[in-house]
A and B are shown apart, each in its own frame.
Chain A
Amino acid sequence: MKLAIVTTYPPGKGSLNEYAYHLVEGLKTKEEVEEIILLVDELPTNEPDEVYPSSEDGSVHIIPCWRFNDPTNPLRIAHTLRENKPDAVLFNIQFASFGDRKIAGGLGLLAPLFSKLLKFPTVVLLHNIMETVDLKSAGFGTNPITQAVIRFAGTILTHLVLSADLVALTIPRYVEILQEKYRANNAVLIPHGTFNDIEQPSMDLPEGPLQIMTFGKFGTYKKVEILIEAFEILQNRSGEQPVELVIAGTSSPNAPGYLEGVAERCTHIPNIRFTGYVEEEDVPKIFGDAAVVVFPYTSTTGSSGVLHQAGSFGKAAVLPEIGDFIELIGEEGYTGETFLPDSSFTLAKAISRVIDNSDNRITLGQQNYLAARGLPIAEVADWYLLHYAQLQKEISFLPATQSI
């Protein structure tokens, strides 16, 4: 297959350039892909030292053929496609890929339609949708009329993008929005993929007491009092390894002095360590030494970055049963022992099930590691190829020489 990808690409600085690089690296490894043609943006002339790389094995050809904020981009891209006659076309874009000026940026999104009209099997990988853009944060102010006009334009542009054979989105909710609002039957979920494989972490623990660790900025919805109560219960269990409680991090900016106050109140309890702010280079040791990572949350706002960190270090987690938090993280592949957020007793029991059962600790840690590792982008590349194979079955090919 000769695959054309319309995208930014390093050393180009446009957004999604790094994603394109990793996707191309994944596609290069596939037997079905004989040649990749990258239709990229022209590099700025004021940086003459920057040039696009040439492919060592000739499998990737880079053709600069469009320019940010140039309204002629769709015509130039269509012309380049016609000249090169790929078997399939992929657009790696978001709404502002072709420009941040309204006319040029909007016209650029005609390019997938032109590709489709030229009878190339066309897939758009759309990294965002207008419906989820916070216009105020994006700098469009709070004027409701301006926002309404922009939303209307966004709807039209989305219809343009949906003229492709398939529109791939990386978040299930985005697919649902396009299906519901635009009645799109060509919106499809394809995972984003991960760029780098996370190294398999060691499941061994250091000598000494088992470290029960919590990590974050505390004082608002992350409270350590219940964890300290559970820790006291655990210290009284008999016949098991001694334990240490490591409270890693600082008070939340919204709760200044919180951890300092807690530390003053629990000086009588042995084996509690407050690390203060953890430097980036010290993070692996903090997580690596922990036997379990505890999430003493009183509410949640979705998934957890700390849980992703714990997973990448292969750590078992102890999690609160709040709302749909367990279900949500379960859908991402994470797991853990759970506790009732207002019960130090259930928290102590949950921690004990991890630290006093090495097999359980390793099993939970391994599962969280697999969840954090995610799906390598090379595997995601297979999904695109599968969809192209399906499209090629569906599309009746005409010579790609029609005028537009």
Chain B
Amino acid sequence: MNTKALSPEPIIKLIELSGRFDAHVAPEFIKWTDENIPASQEYLLVDLKKVNFIDSTALASLVRGMKHCREKGGDLALCNLQQPVQIIFELTRMDQAFRIYTTQEDAFEKARAEYIEKLL
């Protein structure tokens, strides 16, 4: 689990996960999201590029994180979904519930555009 601040404005906090994202990793991820729930118009971005497996508990932890973020006016977005993970998102229709971007850069550009639009 690797985390960093991706941009100063809007603030995007990034977490990069790798390997299996399952019931074993989910508690640590929940702890991180709880500690990094963004303020209004800030984002958590979860990069799943190196994740090759996701289970229902991990997916539930993403739902939980997204829900908490949206309650605060922010959001939790995802990027770089690999095929096995993408299949699970499609099977559960979570691909329609989350904002999903192809790359970190794509997520950053969209978030920045949205942030500017809100400012205007």
Q: Which residues of A line the B interface, CB within 8 A?
A: 166, 172, 175, 188-191, 330-333, 366-367, 370-371, 373-375, 379-380, 382-383, 386-387, 389-390
Q: Which residues of B line the A interface, CB within 8 A?
A: 22-24, 26-27, 53, 55-57, 60, 63-64, 67, 91-94, 96-97
Name 5 interchain pairs, CB-CB below 8 A, sorted by A. Answer: A191-B60, A330-B53, A333-B24, A370-B23, A386-B63
Tell me whether A188 and B67 are in contact (CB under 8 A): no
Complex Cα–Cα for A143 and B26 (A): 50
A333 CB contact (under 8 Å) in B22, B67, B94: B22
**Which residues of the other chain, A, contact B60 by a CB distance below 8 angstroms?**
191, 375, 379-380, 382-383
Mostly helix, strand, loop or mixed at chain A's interface?
helix
Complex Cα–Cα for A297 and B64 (A): 39
> With A333-B24, A370-B23, A370-B24 known to touch, is A383 a contact of B92 (CB < 8 Å)?
yes
Tell me whether A379 and B64 are in contact (CB under 8 A): yes
> With A189-B91, A379-B64, A382-B64 known to touch, is A373 a contact of B56 (CB < 8 Å)?
no
Tell me whether B91 and A172 are in contact (CB under 8 A): yes
Q: Which residue of B lies closest to A32 (CB)?
A: B67
Q: Assuming A370-B26, A379-B60, what are 20 further A-B pairs, CB within 8 angstroms?
A: A172-B91, A188-B91, A189-B92, A331-B55, A333-B24, A366-B24, A367-B24, A370-B22, A374-B56, A375-B56, A382-B60, A382-B64, A382-B67, A383-B63, A386-B63, A386-B67, A386-B94, A387-B93, A389-B97, A390-B93
**Which residues of the other chain, A, contact B24 by a CB distance below 8 angstroms?**
333, 366-367, 370
**Which residues of the other chain, A, contact B63 by a CB distance below 8 angstroms?**
379, 382-383, 386
> With A375-B60, A382-B60, A382-B63 known to touch, is A333 a contact of B55 (CB < 8 Å)?
yes
Complex Cα–Cα for A166 and B63 (A): 19
Tell me whether A371 and B23 are in contact (CB under 8 A): yes
Tell me whether B56 and A191 are in contact (CB under 8 A): yes
Q: Which 7 A-B residue pairings sit nearest by Cβ, starting from the closest?
A: A370-B23, A191-B56, A379-B60, A188-B93, A189-B91, A367-B24, A333-B23
> With A370-B23, A375-B57, A382-B63 known to touch, is A390 a contact of B97 (CB < 8 Å)?
yes
**Which residues of the other chain, A, contact B91 by a CB distance below 8 angstroms?**
172, 175, 188-189
B96 CB contact (under 8 Å) in A172, A190, A191, A390: A390
Complex Cα–Cα for A164 and B27 (A): 35
**Which residues of the other chain, B, contact A367 by a CB distance below 8 angstroms?**
23-24
* Distance of B8 from chain A, by nearest CB (Å): 31
* Distance of B66 from chain A, by nearest CB (Å): 8
* Distance of A332 from chain B, by nearest CB (Å): 8
> With A189-B91, A333-B57 known to touch, is A373 a contact of B23 (CB < 8 Å)?
yes
**Which residues of the other chain, B, contact A366 by a CB distance below 8 angstroms?**
24
Q: Which residue of A lies closest to B70 (CB)?
A: A389
**Which residues of the other chain, B, contact A375 by a CB distance below 8 angstroms?**
56-57, 60
**Which residues of the other chain, A, contact B22 by a CB distance below 8 angstroms?**
333, 370
* Distance of A162 from chain B, by nearest CB (Å): 15
Complex Cα–Cα for A366 and B22 (A): 13
**Which residues of the other chain, B, contact A175 by a CB distance below 8 angstroms?**
91
Q: Which residue of B lies closest to A30 (CB)?
A: B67
* Distance of A364 from chain B, by nearest CB (Å): 10
Complex Cα–Cα for A331 and B94 (A): 19
